[in-house]
C-alpha cells in the first residue's frame, strides 16, 4: 500500500483499527486483479526491460567494437532503421478498408512490428531521437484505428487474430524501448490503445472467463500460442503503468503449461498439440511460429520477474529437436520435411535462437543455426546471439527418429551433406495437417526427388480442392478416393481415427518403418498397411491393402522435375540427383500420367504418376523398390529379383558382398484369425508376417548359420532344417546379427522373452542399444533376451 493511502487511513481511523488494517494487508495476496500499480510484485528494473536490457545492450556494444561480424550486422540493422524513417505509415483508410478474417491489417501490423524492434533498438543503442520520434508517431497513429483485427462475421464475433498479435508485439517492444522519450500524455495514449485494441480483445477472446469464446484447440492450435503470447508481452510492457498488467501476465504465464500438455479432444476430432518427444503436429513451419512466439514472451517474462518465475514446461527440453530431426542438410544449406502446410525452405531457426536465449542449449542447435539463420539480421536475435561455432557436432544425434503420437518417422543414411533421407507420415488430418496417411517423401544428393505436393495460398480454391486431398500425396487410392474429403478437404471435420506409425527400427544396417493408414481411410479400406524396409542401397515398400468394395487401386508417385520410363523402371531426376522407382509386385501393372498442381503455384500444372494393377480388385499387395542413384547418376550395383513361394511373395537383393531374401507371408495378412499364420517359405518355417535373411554371397542357402543378419516383423518363430533361429511365445519385431558381438533390436509385448540362435556364445550382447547379460544355452545354441516394459 502506498504512503498516500496510509496517510488517508491515519486521518480517518484510530490507531487500533490502523493496526488491524496493517495485518490484513500483510496477509493479502500480492497479485490482485485491481491492485495499485505501485504494489506490484515484479522487480523494479529500469527500462527497457523486455529484451533490450542494460546488460544485453552493453554486451552488444562491446561485441560491435571488437568483432567484425557484429559490427557488420549492426550497420546493416541501422541502415534498415534509416529506411524505416522514410517509410510512410499505412493509412487508416486502407487499414480499415478490408474485409474477412484478416482484413487489410497485415501491412500495418507488420510495419509496427518491424518498427517497434528495429527503431526501438536503434534509439537505445544510439540515443538519436529521430528513431524514437518516428516510432512514437507510428504508435500514436495505429492507436487511432478502431480495431486491430479483421472481421469474418463469426458468431459470436471475434475481436483478435494473428494481426492483433503482431500489433501487440510492435507496441510492447516499441513502448518499452522509447519509454523515456515519451511524455506522460503520450504514454497514456499509447498504453490505452494497447489495452483497448490489443490486450483486452485478445485476452477476452482467448483467456479470461468473463468473455472468452476460444478454447485451447481453437484455430488449429497455433493461434492460441501466438495470440496469447503477444497479449502477454504487451501486458509486460505496461507493468507499473496499468494496475491490471501483472494480473494479466500471471494468467498468461500460468496458462501455457496447459497448452503444451493438451492431449486432444476425442469427441470433436482434435489431436494433441505435441508429440511426447516434442514435435508439433501441424507442420515444421507452424511449429516454429507457435513456439517462437511463446519463447519471446517467456524470455521477456524472465527478464522482468527472474528465471525461476517461469513455469516448468518439460517439453521445451525436446521441442527444438523436432527441427533437427526433420531437416535435410545439403551442401547449399538446409531443407525441411514439408508435410502439411509448410515448405521445403521452412526452418525452426527463430525457435532455436530464442531457446538458446532462454537457456535451452544443445550442440546441435548451434550446428543448425550456423547452417540456417543465426539471427544477426533480427534485433532480438542480434542482442541475444549465443552461437558457438566450436559447439556444433551433429553426428552424435540419432539418424532415425519416430514421433509416434503425431505419426512422423524420419530415416537417413547419415548426417553428411547431400545424404539420403526418407520421411514418412501417417497421423492426424485437420487444418494445417493434410490427409496424407501413409505418404512419404525422399531427399537424395541434395535435392527433393519424391515429393509432397505442398500447398498454396489459403484463399485459393485449389488449396481445398487439390492440396488438401489424398490425391496430392504419395498414397494408395481406390477409385480415386483415399481419406474422406470431410476430414480435411471439403468439410474440415478432422480425422476420427488417425493413422499410426507403430514401429521404427534402425540397427546393423537395416531400417524398418511400419505405417498404418487404415483408420483415416476406413471409409474405403478395411486395412491399409505400408512397410518400409531399407536394406543397403535399396528402400523396399510393402503395401498390404484391402477395400470394402472392388475397384481400381492406384499407387501414387509425386516427383520433382523429370521422369523417364525405362521398362518397368521409372527414373526420376532433379538436376544431378536421381532415383529409380521399380514396381516388383503386382507383376502386371499400368502406369498412368495424371495432372496435379505445383507446390505453392496453383496456376502451374505438373504431372504425377499412378501405378495400377491390370484388374480391379478388393485386395492386393504392392512391392516397390526405390533405388537412389550414385553421385555420377549411375544405378546402384544391386540386382533385384522377384520371389514367389507357397503363399508368399518377396524380393531378392544381390549386392556386391551379400544377398538378402525378403518374404511377405500371405497367410499372415488377416485371412486366418483362429489359427496361426504358419507357413513354409523357401524351407523356412515361420508365422512371421515379413522376414528377411542376409548372407554372404556364395554361402550355403540351406544352413541358417550362414546368415549374418535376420529381420522378423510380427513373428514368433523362424526355423530351418531343424535349427531354431527365433523362438518367442508372442510375436515380435526384431533385427539381430549373430556373432562375437551380437546386436539385437527387439520390440513386442510389454513382457517378452525371445531365444535367438547363436552358434557360439557371444562376448557381448547389445539389446536395444545397451549391453546386457544373457543366458547362453549350449545345447540349443541360443541366447535368451527379454524386455519388460512394465518395470
Q: Is residue 296 predicted with pLDDT exceeding 90?
A: yes
pLDDT band of 22, cuts 50, 70, 90: very low
Q: Which DSSP symbol is given to 765?
A: E
- Name the helix (H) or strand (E) containing 368: helix 363-371
d(CA 581, CA 769): 33
Please report, rounded to a whole number, the percentage of residues in the chain having pLDDT higher than 70: 93
The pLDDT, as a whole number, for residue 392 is: 63
Query: 179 in helix, strand or coil?
Result: coil
Within 10 Å of residue 197's Cβ, how many Cβ atoms?
Answer: 25
- The string of pLDDT tens digits covering residues 146-188 is 999 999 889 999 999 999 999 999 999 999 999 999 999 999 9
The overall average pLDDT reported for the chain is 92
Cell 544485453 belongs to 56
- The string of pLDDT tens digits covering residues 650-693 is 999 999 999 999 999 999 998 888 899 999 999 999 999 999 99
Q: Is residue 639 predicted with pLDDT exceeding 70?
A: yes
The pLDDT, as a whole number, for residue 12 is: 40
DSSP per-residue codes, 554-614? EEEE-BSSEEEEETTEEEEEETTEEEEEEEEESSSEEEEEEEEEETTEEEEEEEEEEEEES
Q: Is residue 791 predicted with pLDDT exceeding 60?
A: no
- The string of pLDDT tens digits covering residues 414-433 is 999 999 999 999 999 998 99
The pLDDT, as a whole number, for residue 157 is: 94
Q: pTM above 0.85? A: yes
- The string of pLDDT tens digits covering residues 624-635 is 999 999 877 788
Burial (Cβ within 10 Å: 0-12, 13-18, ≥19) of residue 58 = exposed
CB 231 within 8 A of CB 199: yes
d(CA 124, CA 111): 19
- The string of pLDDT tens digits covering residues 230-258 is 999 999 999 999 999 999 999 999 999 99
Amino acid at each position: 500500500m502506498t504512503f498516500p493511502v496510509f496517510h488517508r487511513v491515519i486521518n480517518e481511523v484510530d490507531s487500533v483499527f490502523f493496526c488491524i488494517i496493517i495485518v490484513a494487508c500483510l496477509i493479502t495476496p500480492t497479485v490482485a486483479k485491481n491492485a495499485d500499480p505501485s504494489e506490484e510484485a515484479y522487480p523494479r528494473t529500469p527500462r527497457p526491460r523486455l529484451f533490450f536490457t542494460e546488460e544485453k545492450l552493453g554486451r552488444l556494444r562491446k561485441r560491435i567494437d571488437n568483432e567484425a561480424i557484429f559490427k557488420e550486422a549492426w550497420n546493416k540493422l541501422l541502415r534498415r532503421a534509416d529506411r524505416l524513417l522514410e517509410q510512410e505509415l499505412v493509412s487508416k483508410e486502407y487499414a480499415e478498408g478490408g474485409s474477412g478474417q484478416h482484413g487489410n491489417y497485415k501491412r500495418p501490423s507488420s510495419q509496427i512490428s518491424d518498427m517497434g524492434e528495429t527503431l526501438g533498438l536503434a534509439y537505445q543503442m544510439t540515443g538519436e531521437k529521430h528513431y524514437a520520434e518516428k516510432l512514437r508517431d507510428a504508435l500514436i497513429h495505429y492507436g487511432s484505428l478502431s480495431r486491430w483485427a479483421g472481421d469474418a462475421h463469426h458468431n459470436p464475433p471475434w475481436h483478435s487474430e494473428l494481426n492483433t498479435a503482431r500489433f501487440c508485439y510492435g507496441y510492447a517492444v516499441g513502448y518499452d524501448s522509447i519509454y523515456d522519450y515519451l511524455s506522460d500524455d503520450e504514454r497514456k495514449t499509447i498504453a490505452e490503445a494497447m489495452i483497448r485494441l490489443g490486450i483486452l480483445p485478445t485476452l477476452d477472446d482467448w483467456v479470461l472467463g468473463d468473455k472468452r469464446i476460444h478454447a485451447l484447440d481453437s484455430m488449429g492450435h497455433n493461434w492460441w500460442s501466438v495470440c496469447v503470447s503477444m497479449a502477454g508481452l504487451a501486458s509486460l510492457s505496461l507493468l507499473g503503468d496499468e494496475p491490471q498488467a501483472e494480473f494479466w501476465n500471471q494468467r498468461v504465464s500460468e496458462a501455457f503449461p496447459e497448452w503444451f500438455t493438451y492431449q486432444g479432444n476425442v469427441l470433436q476430432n482434435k489431436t494433441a498439440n505435441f508429440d511426447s518427444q516434442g514435435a508439433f503436429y501441424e507442420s515444421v513451419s507452424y511449429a516454429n511460429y507457435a513456439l517462437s512466439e511463446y519463447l519471446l514472451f517467456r524470455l521477456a517474462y524472465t527478464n522482468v520477474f527472474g528465471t525461476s518465475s517461469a513455469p516448468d514446461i518439460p517439453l521445451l527440453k525436446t521441442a527444438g529437436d523436432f527441427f533437427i530431426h526433420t531437416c535435410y542438410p545439403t551442401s547449399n544449406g538446409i531443407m525441411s520435411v514439408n508435410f502439411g502446410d509448410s515448405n521445403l525452405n521452412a526452418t525452426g531457426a527463430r525457435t532455436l535462437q530464442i531457446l538458446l536465449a532462454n537457456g535451452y542449449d544443445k550442440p546441435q542447435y548451434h550446428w543448425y543455426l550456423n547452417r540456417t539463420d543465426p539471427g544477426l539480421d533480427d534485433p532480438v536475435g542480434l542482442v541475444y546471439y549465443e552461437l558457438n561455432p566450436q559447439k556444433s557436432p551433429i553426428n552424435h544425434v540419432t539418424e532415425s527418429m519416430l514421433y509416434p503420437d503425431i505419426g512422423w518417422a524420419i530415416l537417413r543414411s547419415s548426417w553428411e551433406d547431400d545424404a539420403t533421407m526418407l520421411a514418412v507420415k501417417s497421423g492426424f488430418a485437420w487444418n494445417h495437417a493434410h490427409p496424407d496417411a501413409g505418404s512419404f517423401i525422399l531427399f537424395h544428393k541434395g535435392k527433393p526427388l519424391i515429393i509432397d505436393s505442398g500447398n498454396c495460398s489459403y484463399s485459393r480454391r485449389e488449396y481445398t480442392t487439390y492440396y488438401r486431398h489424398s490425391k496430392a500425396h504419395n498414397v494408395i487410392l481406390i477409385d480415386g478416393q483415399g481419406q474422406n474429403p470431410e476430414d480435411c478437404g471439403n468439410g474440415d471435420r478432422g480425422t476420427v481415427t488417425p493413422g499410426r506409425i507403430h514401429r521404427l527400427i534402425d540397427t546393423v544396417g537395416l531400417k524398418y518403418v511400419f505405417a498404418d493408414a487404415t483408420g483415416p481411410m476406413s471409409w474405403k479400406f478395411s486395412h491399409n498397411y505400408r512397410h518400409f524396409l531399407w536394406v543397403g542401397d535399396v528402400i523396399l515398400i510393402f503395401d498390404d491393402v484391402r477395400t470394402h468394395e472392388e475397384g481400381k487401386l492406384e499407387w501414387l508417385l509425386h516427383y520433382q522435375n523429370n521422369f523417364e520410363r525405362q521398362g518397368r523402371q521409372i527414373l526420376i531426376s532433379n538436376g544431378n540427383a536421381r532415383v529409380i522407382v521399380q514396381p516388383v509386385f503386382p507383376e502386371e501393372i499400368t502406369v498412368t500420367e495424371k495432372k496435379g498442381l505445383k507446390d505453392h503455384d496453383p496456376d502451374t500444372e505438373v504431372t504425377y504418376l499412378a501405378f495400377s494393377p491390370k484388374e480391379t480388385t478388393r485386395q492386393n499387395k504392392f512391392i516397390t523398390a526405390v533405388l537412389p542413384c550414385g553421385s555420377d547418376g549411375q544405378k546402384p550395383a544391386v540386382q533385384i529379383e522377384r520371389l514367389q513361394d507357397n503363399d508368399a511373395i518377396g524380393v531378392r537383393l544381390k549386392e556386391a558382398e551379400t544377398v538378402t531374401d525378403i518374404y511377405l507371408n500371405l497367410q499372415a495378412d488377416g485371412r486366418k484369425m483362429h489359427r496361426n499364420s504358419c507357413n513354409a517359405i523357401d524351407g523356412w518355417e515361420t508365422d512371421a508376417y515379413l522376414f528377411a535373411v542376409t548372407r554372404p554371397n556364395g554361402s550355403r542357402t540351406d544352413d541358417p548359420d550362414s546368415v549374418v543378419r535376420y529381420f522378423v516383423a510380427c513373428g514368433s518363430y523362424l526355423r530351418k532344417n531343424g535349427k531354431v533361429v527365433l523362438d518367442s511365445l508372442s510375436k515380435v519385431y526384431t533385427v539381430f546379427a549373430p556373432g562375437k558381438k551380437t546386436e539385437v533390436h527387439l520390440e513386442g509385448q510389454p513382457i517378452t522373452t525371445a531365444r535367438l540362435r547363436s552358434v557360439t556364445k557371444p562376448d557381448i550382447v547389445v539389446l536395444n542399444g545397451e549391453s546386457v547379460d544373457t543366458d547362453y544355452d549350449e545345447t540349443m545354441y541360443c541366447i535368451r533376451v527379454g524386455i519388460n516394459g512394465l518395470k
